[in-house]
Amino acid sequence: MTPKILLVIAALLALQLATSRVVWASDPSPLQDFCVVDNSSKVFVNGFVCKSMDDVKAEDFFTYGLDKPGNTINKLGSNVRAVNVNTIPGLNTLGISMARIDFAPRGLNPPHTHPRATEILTVLKGELYVGFVTSNIGQTNRLFTKILKKGDVFVFPQGLVHFQFNRGHTRAIAIAALSSQNPGTITVANAVFGSKPSISDEVLSKAFQVDQKIVDRLQAQFWMDNNN
């Protein structure tokens, strides 16, 4: 082969690799009008198997109750009601979901990430202090924060740790839209201190540069909170 042909082949391979990464990094793309989840299927795929078009009903694209306030009587003072593919089977392959978030006064939606989605949040009532932290850029994890009032909108980039806090003395409500049918949620404190089985206290002690007794107390507290 001539050098020119080899160069063309290399370029085509690079293009295919780049394209493949883009495809696999996102939700499955629809190849038909819709792909409503077939909950009776035992086949395991990346996403969900479609049921027959003949069996699809309007209810497959419907849910209700987002007008009702969530119960915020808990230690965090917040409640998240997710509307994703597990709630609306018609969302399968459509790459979108949403959530209603209710906050009691001083309520917190604690630091967490959505590994598969960017989030855009709109405040419907009250005032929220929100923010996200960048990934490890050099030795710095930069924090971006904003005070949001009714009607304000803020974006949390995909995969980055973020939070929302109602610093006021009245209830707050927000609606979030997310760029995945199933964004996933990793609550940082729960994942680190409440995993099953537990992460070694020696590992956590060294990571956080604190005494192992502090780690033991935190793990015990998370265990109690999740088993009561």
As annotated, the binding site for oxalate includes: 109, 114, 119
Question: What order do you get walking across the sheet with 119-125 strand by strand?
Answer: 78-83, 97-103, 172-178, 119-125, 153-156
Amino acid at the residue 142? R
Structure tokens at 68: 């009702």
Q: State the Cα–Cα distance between residues 119 and 157, nearest whole angstrom.
A: 7
Residue numbering of the annotated binding site for Mn(2+): 112, 114, 119, 162
Structure tokens at 100: 């209603």
